[in-house]
């Protein structure tokens, strides 16, 4: 049966109108439907147990000792929510990080990089098991970048969040033993032979100050601070006194990170040397991380600029879950309870010439936050409590007991002396009375 051109035109007009109507509905309803089906910004909670040990311990004539602290991490399933085999989707750090790092390169280079991403099936998001994301996975893109852009990536093997940290060390620390001056004990003399680093823009910010973060000098007060050098953050940091407390029967001082720790140079001028800065609450560590767009913050942007919370869904910062603290015994400088919580963030944005970033808004995206916590327990705690709590308490009681006994002895001696005097006076009085009676 023949169909006239006018009939076909009417059919196509109707179909076109329906398509426009359906498309318009999808524009508004589609994202709602998709958004309802995707679980976004949900924390997974793999627990890693860590082992720390010291090696290459060498004592020097100038009252210092050098050592390297090695660390090992392993997955602890019994303490975790989920398993290493759980599959998750996260922003592809390789693609998005490399794009920002290369954004100032000539357009042909960016087009070549985008072609490489497509060739290796690398998109803006990555779906992998948790275990591979933590310990590393093989990537042809990593091999390609290391071959044609050597030094761009921190790894030449597997790529993962903990691939380079596991079985690594924090560098060679040389610290004072305190043999000649107890006020200098544990204070850093040098790190990897350096008195300062060259990552930052001011001499003050480059200084290596404080301890290595394990112990501090004794006899701390409420006015004391706790400075330490962190190789992972590439800078010295300082904690301040918050309040007194008790940790497993041991009196402690709690020290916390001040709000100015990661403040930008505008809000806190002494931090200007750590810039270029973005919002307060972010530390730009790109200068010591192969120029990768990496930022350190407190978890969930705790005590950071509220603007950061507006760009990412699902964040709810609070001090109990995301605060950083060290409970320390003030007389010895020994940490009794520690919780170090930090967050690793990646700056992502659209880079002209790299199509994989075409629909990405500029945002500092939280990738992972971690907590290194621990406390003194077991025989060490018992020895500590006995020597530094029980014995001083017993000695204090004995001190007052001896003072009491001494005062009682002195009082007894005085009373005895006075009683002898009284008896002597009474005897003289009796003799005098008898003498007078005989005369008269």
320 and 413 part of one domain:
no
Together in a domain, 358 and 243 = yes
Give mean pLDDT, residues 335-363. 92
Mean pLDDT of 251-277: 94
pTM: 0.78
- Please indicate, yes or no, if residue 426 is contained in any of the structural domains: yes
Question: Are 395 and 290 in a shared domain?
Answer: no
Q: Where are the beta strands (DSSP E) in 197-314?
A: 225-230, 235-247, 250-256, 283-284, 294-297
Residue 71 lies in a domain: no
Q: Is the pLDDT of residue 176 over 80?
A: yes
Percent of the chain with pLDDT over 90: 44
Residues 346 and 422 in one domain: no
Same domain, 358 and 278: yes
DSSP H helices in 73-171: 93-101, 107-119, 130-135, 140-148
pLDDT at residue number 385: 81
- 344 and 428 fall within a common domain: no
Residue 363 lies in a domain: yes
Query: Is 101 contained in some domain?
Result: no
Structure tokens given for 303: 């005590």
Peptide bond into 276 cis (omega under 30): yes
Q: Is 364 inside any structural domain?
A: yes
Same domain, 304 and 430: no
Q: What is the DSSP string of 11-46?
A: HHHHHHHHHHHHHHHHHHHHHHHHHHHS--SPPPB-
Domain count, the chain: 2
Same domain, 312 and 365: yes
Which has the minimum average pLDDT: 31-40, 63-72, 376-385, 389-398? 31-40
Same domain, 307 and 417: no
Q: Would 338 be classed as within a structural domain?
A: yes
Same domain, 341 and 429: no
Q: What are the tens digits of pLDDT across the range 76-115?
A: 766 666 777 888 888 998 899 989 998 999 999 899 889 9
The answer to whether residue 321 sits within a structural domain is yes
Is 340 found in the same domain as 433? Answer: no
Same domain, 234 and 356: yes
pLDDT band at 47 (very low <50, low <70, confident <90, very high): low
Q: Give the domain range for residue 392.
A: 387-439
Is residue 282 a part of any domain in this protein? yes
Encoded tokens for 340: 């170090």
**Please, what's the largest Cα pairwise distance for the chain?**
174
Helices 107-119 and 93-101, packing angle to 10 deg: 170
Q: How far apart are CA 83 and CA 46, in angstroms?
A: 7
Determine the 3-state secondary structure of 288 from DSSP: helix
**Rounded to whole angstroms, what are the CA distances from 125 to 88, 117, 122, 242?**
10, 12, 8, 41
């Amino acid at each position: 049966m023949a169909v006239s051109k006018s009939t076909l035109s009417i059919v196509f007009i109707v179909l076109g109108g329906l398509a426009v109507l359906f498309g318009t509905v999808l524009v508004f309803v589609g994202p709602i439907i998709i958004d309802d089906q995707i679980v976004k910004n949900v924390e997974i909670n793999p627990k890693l147990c860590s082992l720390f040990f010291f090696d290459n311990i060498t004592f020097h004539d100038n009252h210092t000792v050098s050592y390297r602290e090695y660390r090992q991490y392993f997955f602890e399933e019994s303490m975790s929510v989920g398993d290493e085999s759980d599959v998750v989707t996260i922003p592809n750090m390789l693609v998005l990080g490399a794009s920002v790092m290369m954004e100032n390169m000539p357009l042909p280079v960016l087009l070549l990089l985008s072609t490489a991403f497509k060739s290796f099936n690398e998109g803006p998001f990555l779906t992998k098991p948790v275990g591979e994301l933590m310990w590393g996975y093989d990537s042809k893109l990593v091999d390609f970048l290391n071959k044609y852009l050597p030094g761009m990536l921190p790894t030449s093997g597997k790529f993962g969040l903990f691939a380079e940290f596991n079985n690594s060390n924090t560098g060679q620390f040389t610290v004072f033993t305190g043999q000649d001056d107890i006020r200098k004990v544990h204070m850093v003399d040098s790190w990897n032979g350096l008195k300062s680093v060259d990552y930052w823009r001011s001499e003050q910010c480059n200084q290596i100050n404080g301890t290595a973060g394990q112990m501090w000098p004794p006899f701390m007060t409420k006015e004391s601070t706790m400075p330490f050098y962190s190789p992972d953050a590439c800078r010295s940091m300082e904690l301040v006194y918050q309040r007194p407390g008790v940790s497993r029967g041991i009196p402690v001082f709690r020290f916390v990170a001040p709000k100015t720790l990661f403040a930008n140079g505008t809000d806190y001028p002494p931090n200007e040397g750590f810039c270029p800065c973005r919002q307060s609450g972010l530390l730009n560590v790109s200068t010591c991380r192969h120029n990768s767009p990496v930022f350190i913050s407190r978890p969930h942007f705790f005590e950071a600029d509220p603007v950061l919370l507006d760009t990412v869904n699902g964040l709810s910062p609070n001090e109990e879950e995301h605060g950083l603290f060290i409970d320390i015994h003030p007389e010895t400088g020994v940490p009794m309870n520690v919780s170090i919580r930090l967050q690793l963030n990646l700056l992502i944005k659209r880079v002209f010439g790299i199509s994989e970033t075409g629909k990405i808004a500029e945002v500092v995206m939280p990738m992972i936050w971690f907590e290194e916590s621990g406390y003194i327990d077991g025989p060490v705690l018992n020895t500590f409590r006995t020597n530094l709590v029980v014995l001083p308490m017993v000695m204090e009681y004995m001190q007052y007991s001896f003072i009491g006994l001494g005062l009682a002895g002195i009082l007894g001696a005085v009373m005895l002396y006075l009683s002898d005097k009284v008896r002597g006076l009474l005897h003289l009085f009796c003799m005098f009375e008898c003498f007078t009676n005989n005369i008269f």
